[in-house]
Amino acid sequence: MAARTPAERIVAAIRAIPRGEVAGYGHVAQRAGLPGRARMVARLLSRNDDPTLPWHRVLRSDGRIAFPVGSEGFVEQCDRLRREGVDVTDEGRVRTAKRARTLDEAVWG
């Protein structure tokens, strides 16, 4: 096994997100061993070319989709999440079954 690069660790962390659940950029980064690199995760997804990567499960710290409402990426992410059983409002807000105020306890808590 080759030495995993930070980017690979981030990808692995995203792949570790269970279907129907979501995680925040900061959480993914921290789980990847890169605390404070939330922007690195975002940049990776923006440049990611892996269709098997569940990028749609990655949301902002507010629990909202990182795309502007009505945007193409927003619609796609929203659609994918809904197909996994995740409730998403028109505002892009994601509601987990645990109904936690913060993703911290909703997913990885």
Residues engaged in binding DNA (CB under 7 A)? 24-26, 36-43, 45-46, 48, 55-56, 58, 60-62, 66-67, 73, 77
Taking the complex as a whole, the smallest distance from the CB of residue 97 to DNA amounts, in Å, to: 20
Instruction: Please state, as a whole number, how many other Cβ atoms lie within 10 Å of the Cβ of residue 53.
Output: 16
Looking at the Cβ atoms of 2 and 5, the one nearer to DNA is: 5
Phi then psi for residue 93, to 5 deg, are -85, 135
Looking at the Cβ atoms of 15 and 39, the one nearer to DNA is: 39
* Cα-trace Rg, the chain: 13
